[in-house]
Chain A
């Protein structure tokens, strides 16, 4: 089955630690995205990538980093510089380039202890 797989589903982190969230897709999509969702707030774009080896900052990129070495993979690292990292993180990919239909993974919930 084609889709987007995010792991881990739940992650706990101590303050000062970096963590990496995985996002893998087998839909052959060029564009991939990372969003953050907080309770009572809309989705906010962290980073996006339209093609391998290229990515751009979204609205709230500070404290995060990404890589896009393979078409299928777009991992997100939440660094210790992110001041309030507890949130629900959603990965997505788009068909038909940057204007195509968006599909999401199941999300990863990060809690900082």
Chain B
């Protein structure tokens, strides 16, 4: 099992650019989560999906953030336009029901 796969591992881009983060969950998992890690707020949940359907997006900071899960094996988190305060590590995780969540290696995002 390859685990949860995130890409890219690192992204450096200029303010105003569109950023797309990608995630491939573990096959058979029915939940997918997007988290953001910052020094100030720790690990915060942005949005999660159950069976490809967004269930709770109350953690998404603002309209500049959007997430999709077109099928069971792929999800994207998009920021448009990006701002310096979006700089953080973004984690994707997947699980089956309320079993332990498996985290990807994260995407370290820097917005200049």
A interacts with B: no
| B→A interface (CB under 8 Å) | none
| A→B interface (CB under 8 Å) | none
